[in-house]
Amino acid sequence: MFRPKPTSRLILLTLTLLLLVNFLTSIKASEPTTDENEDGELEELLALDEQGEQEEEQEGSSASVRSSEAEVLTKAQRIVIELNHDNTKRVIEGHEFVLVLGYAPWCSRSAELMPQFAEAATSLKELGSPLLLAKLDAERHPKTASSLEIKGFPTLLLFVNGTSQVYTGGFSAEEIVIWARKKTGEPVIRISSVTEAEEFLKKHHIFVVGLFEKFENEASALIVYLFGQYLCSWAYMFVLKLLRGPDYEEFVKAAAADNAIQFVGVSNIEVANVLFPNVKPTNLFLGIVKSERERYTSYEGTFEMDKILLFLDYNKLPLVNKLTETNSARVYSSPIKLQVLVFAEADDFKKLLEPLQDVARQFKSKILFIYIDNTGENLAKPYLTLFGLEESNSTVVTAFDISNNSKYLLESDPTPSNIKEFCSGLLRGTLSSHFKSQPIPDNTNETVHSIVGKTFDDKVLNSYKNVILEVFTPWCINCETTSKHVEKLAKHFKGLDNLVFARIDASANEHPKLQVNDYPTLLFYTANDKANPIKLSAKSSLKDLATTINKHLKVKDNVAKEKDNVPKDEL
């Protein structure tokens, strides 16, 4: 049977596709480009934009006083359509892609996001993106916000042909642009010249570059370009599979699946070396580039979507991550289960950053390093509270093993060498878990002894006496009543040398063998069986508690006497 040569097959495919593209182009040209009723807001917006530019030119000296940055922001804000009760439905249903920002004027996070959103709108317009950006004052138009299911602020929603999707990208202008382009059909940017590559480097802080040299020729490049311009995504993927092969197809699938990082495809080794220096001459290459000391990381695995995404998960974050409210979700989603957290004031951390990066490099992809400003109430305090260090102003180094919910504390000075040793122990699993504890109290002349994490072993588990322990927290509503009962019971049984009443604040003290979730809790640790404490009812009356304690003391005493009186030959 006659089989056409690959070259003949490619030429035939090229001619067929060119005819198809020509047909599609003619259809597209015959369609009206703008509907006056549906796109009224957009035309009005562009007119306002031009009018604004003319007004700025007429302002003369008054315009010159503004900074160039402010002018850019003002122009960008005009590009974002302001939604209201009357135009929201028409704008969303009249455009294929609309990204809506729901905000409230009083919301500080909305105020932080606004300029980033406006800057992203400018960039997307310059790139010729079909995405329309719009914003809605949800406080002024609550019914409209409710109809869009905007419940918190700020909220970003992408509408595709009128159907909403939750926004899952970052909150910088660059991250919004990357996410938007991926969701509107452009998962990979193709760069073909050194000049393009140099311009790209100026605008992006993190990206993935893939070199696919052997799949490129002039005919295939033309076809890919034409398909990217005119055809739907499934056809585009089909052509990529035919012309570029399965490796490039997996690369594009990974690019579409990742929401945060821009993917770049190149076919020329010189262009690749601009983006990722010292790429070895090869037909296939993939690497991630970041704007930090650990700038370049190459991928060594096979070209499969899942493996590429896993590589990115382990390598996309900086060596040391400064935790903020805007990036917390991205940091917390890391698959790295061992985490070292450094709490310090900003000035102190500046001195520690460079040596800490050197330490982090030695544990790359194994330990995630996070910096948190210890003056931050929302971010630092919840963590420091877990260690009983919420009032600390000095530098604190902690660690977590997410896989078994263990936490650790560096108790020596936070020098680079001590941090390195601490990390090595964390990786080997030789660190002792940290349990928070208040300072050891003086219980002299106290009727009810205070127990802390550090004294729980000696005063409760290893004590030869019976111990009744009250477990409480300062915020517990019913604990005060129980505490009064314990005080009275301690006075009532004061004459018994073998019985001790004690209490422990569970909010400030921990012990691996004290696992209590309800407060208040009363536990009776008998002298002969400390491993199995008896839980007393904290809701019982004072009289009932005294009766129960007497009963358990007598039972245990009788058991002890019986054991002492058993003849030796019967043991």
Burial of 250 from C-beta contacts in 10 A (0-12 / 13-18 / 19+): buried
Non-local (6+) Cβ contacts of 534 within 8 A are 523, 524, 526, 552
In this structure, are residues 236 and 227 in contact, taking their beta carbons and an 8 Å threshold?
yes
Rounded to 5 degrees, φ, ψ at 306 are -60, -40
Residue 186: partners with Cβ closer than 8 Å, 6 or more residues away: 129, 228
Catalytic residue selected from 10, 72, 73, 107: 107
Going by the DSSP 8-state scheme, the letter that residue 441 receives in this structure is P
d(C-alpha 561, C-alpha 159), whole Å: 79
What are the φ/ψ torsions at residue 275 (nearest 5 degrees)?
A: -80, -35
Distance CA 181, CA 147 (A): 26
User: Which of these, 174, 244, 249, lies nearest to 212 by C-alpha position?
Assistant: 244
Cis status of the peptide bond prior to 567, with omega within 30 of 0: no
DSSP characters for 217-247?
Answer: -HHHHHHHHHHHHHS-HHHHHHHHHHHH-HH
The answer to whether 476 is a known catalytic residue is yes
Task: Give the active site residue among 121, 319, 479, 500.
Answer: 479
Catalytic residue among 10, 402, 476, 527: 476
3-state secondary structure of 191: coil
**Residues with a known catalytic role:** 107, 476, 479
